[in-house]
Amino acid sequence: MSFTAQDVKALREATQAGMMDCKKALEATDGDLEAAKQWLREKGLSAAAKRDDRENNQGVVALALTGDTGALVLLKSETDFVAGSDQFKAEAATLAELVAAKGPDAVAERNEQLEELKILLKEKIELGTVVQIAATPGNVLGHYEHIQGGRGVNGVLVELAGGSAELAHDVAVHIAFARPKYLTRDDVPADVVEAERQTLETITLNEGKPEAAVPKIVEGRLNGFFKDVALLEQPYAKDDKVSIKQLIGDATIVNFAQVEIG
């Protein structure tokens, strides 16, 4: 397949690679523009390839709801400037809507658009966490999205059985603030608990506490650890005299997810 000077120019604009590199890429791929883009990327000659090792700790958390199904999508960028752009936020919203409607694997349908967005915005852009929660009929789906600088930065979904939509929303707001990693203390992996126990033992001994008293002190501190990481153990953000378990009463938190920038 032959190619023209216009093809070289188009490839250069798309990849920001050098003119001679673009000609080599088109020669190597018989003038196939898409194959040439991939050739440049594999050789580390395109701008996209050069961006691959950059940090991308900014972005947008997009939340979408379709009936009783919710989705959270983290689209990552290098700078908050790009994260706040209309094109970037629109793509994040489209991805979240797609996940809500079809499930997490549906993001693959936007691969081409994401590649184009990288070229347009000239940053390392990639998908982060992708979550879908489909509430069982009869359950309610609570949600909360914290907006900062015109973009979502912290999103939460909560599926609640036997409770109201208002209660589910209150729990979602709490999760956004308290950032629990697990639902109950029993959900915390045994190796995580053991590692924390050993750390607490070392801290307690270093404080000069009597060795005989260490086990009891460690157990007390371990309870504090569970209050940090297990949702039902946590004191409610709006009233720390009430735990989340007490707040929900006879209701049951079936599932929850939190996605946050950083």
DSSP 196-212: HHHHHHHHHHHTT--GG
Per-domain residue ranges of the chain: 5-51, 58-182+248-260
- CA atoms of 120 and 187, how far apart (whole Å): 43
Residue 17: pLDDT above 90? no
Q: What is the pLDDT of residue 16?
A: 74
Residue 121 pLDDT exceeds 60: yes
Using one digit for the tens of pLDDT, what is the confidence trace for 46-73?
Answer: 665 555 556 668 999 999 999 999 999 9
Which CATH number is associated with domain 5-51?
Answer: 1.10.8.10
Q: Express each pLDDT in 241-260 by its tens digit.
A: 999 999 999 999 999 999 99
Tell me which residue of 94, 152, 122 sits closest to 16, measured CA to CA.
122
- What pLDDT was estimated at residue 120? 85
The predicted model gives 87-95 an average pLDDT of 97
Q: Which CATH class is domain 58-182+248-260?
A: alpha beta
pLDDT value of position 48 = 57
Does this model's pTM top 0.85? My answer is no
What was the pLDDT predicted at 65? Answer: 97
Q: How far apart are CA 141 and CA 118, in angstroms?
A: 34
